């Protein structure tokens, strides 16, 4: 069982690291499977799962596979012709919006803490969600919303590996013991705890990140 801290008010937290998908941006992991299903790729939901991913997706998230290699592998698995645009549209179907209150939350936290982002993502999703944020939130420099933002496909490291957390901390001379990590994936929270960070699991069925931050007293 994870050791949870009931309140972080006056607890020495100096840095907060946010996950992106599910925590800040809404994500529907089944939407991509449904979009592929419409094109006849009925087994995509088996291939891709949030908790346990095929090595294809792991490799794509760390930049070991290029977008071309990813698309070619999808076509190979599908067994039928699919254009690059079709694959990208299906793959990006899972991406939703970032509610304005979450943007405001990050801005408020930045006045008190060093606020960072660490996301397991890929080279097709990055321009897609950055375009969503530019269109819907008027933010043309998404990374600029944070004191530092790191995508797994760019740094070659992914959660829950300790190396991913340590890399981000090192870029900002941050201490693991004074850093709070927030993620909706339990395996990533466990990885952060093993890496020495303090961590909180955001259970999306019960609350969103704004309610979590308020419950923890981070802005009290």
- Compute the half-sphere exposure of residue 216: CA atoms within 13 Å on the CB side of its CA: 24
Question: Which residues are CB-neighbours of 66 under 8 A, at least 6 positions away?
Answer: 123
Q: Do residues 69 and 121 share a domain?
A: no
pLDDT value of residue 46? 75
pLDDT classification of 10: cutoffs 50, 70, 90 = low
Number of domains in the chain: 2
CATH code of the domain containing 53: 1.10.150.240
Residue 146 lies in a domain: yes
Within 10 angstroms of residue 131's Cβ, the number of other Cβ atoms is 14
CATH code of the domain containing 153: 3.40.50.1000
Last residue of a domain, one of 40, 61, 94: 94
172-201 tens-digit pLDDT: 999 999 999 999 999 999 999 999 999 999
Q: Do residues 103 and 88 share a domain?
A: no
Q: Do residues 21 and 41 share a domain?
A: no
Across 68-81, b (16+ Cβ under 10 Å) vs e yields: eebbebbbeebeee
Q: Do residues 116 and 197 share a domain?
A: yes
140-172 tens-digit pLDDT: 999 999 999 999 999 999 999 999 999 999 999
Examine the pLDDT at 202 and tell me if it is beyond 70.
Answer: yes
Of 69, 57, 213, 183, whose CA–CA distance to 117 is shortest? 183
Q: Do residues 19 and 52 share a domain?
A: no
Q: Do residues 39 and 127 share a domain?
A: no
The residue segments making up the domain with residue 168 are: 15-27+97-216
Examine the pLDDT at 12 and tell me if it is beyond 60.
Answer: yes
pLDDT value of residue 44? 80
Residue 43 vs residue 91, higher pLDDT? 91
pLDDT value of residue 5? 42
pLDDT classification of 4: cutoffs 50, 70, 90 = very low
Q: Are 41 and 91 in contact (CB under 8 A)?
A: no
């Amino acid at each position: 069982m994870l050791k949870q801290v009931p309140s972080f008010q006056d607890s020495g937290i100096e840095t907060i690291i946010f996950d992106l998908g599910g925590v800040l941006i809404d994500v529907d992991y089944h939407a991509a499977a449904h979009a592929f299903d419409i094109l006849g790729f009925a087994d995509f939901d088996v291939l891709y799962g949030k908790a346990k991913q095929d090595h294809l997706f792991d490799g794509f998230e760390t930049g070991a596979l290029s977008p071309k290699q990813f698309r070619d592998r999808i076509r190979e698995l599908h067994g039928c012709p699919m254009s690059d645009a079709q694959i990208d549209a299906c793959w990006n179907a899972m991406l939703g919006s970032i509610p304005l209150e979450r943007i405001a939350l990050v801005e408020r936290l930045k006045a008190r803490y060093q606020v960072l982002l660490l996301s397991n993502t890929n080279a097709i999703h990055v321009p897609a969600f950055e375009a969503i944020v530019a269109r819907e939130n008027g933010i043309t420099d998404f990374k600029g919303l944070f004191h530092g933002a790191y995508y797994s496909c760019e740094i070659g490291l992914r959660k829950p590996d300790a190396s991913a957390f340590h890399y981000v901390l090192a870029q900002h001379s941050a201490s693991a013991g004074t850093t709070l990590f927030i993620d909706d994936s339990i395996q990533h929270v466990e990885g952060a705890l093993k890496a020495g960070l303090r961590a909180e699991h955001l259970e999306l069925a019960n609350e969103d990140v704004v309610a979590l931050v308020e419950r923890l007293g981070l802005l009290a």
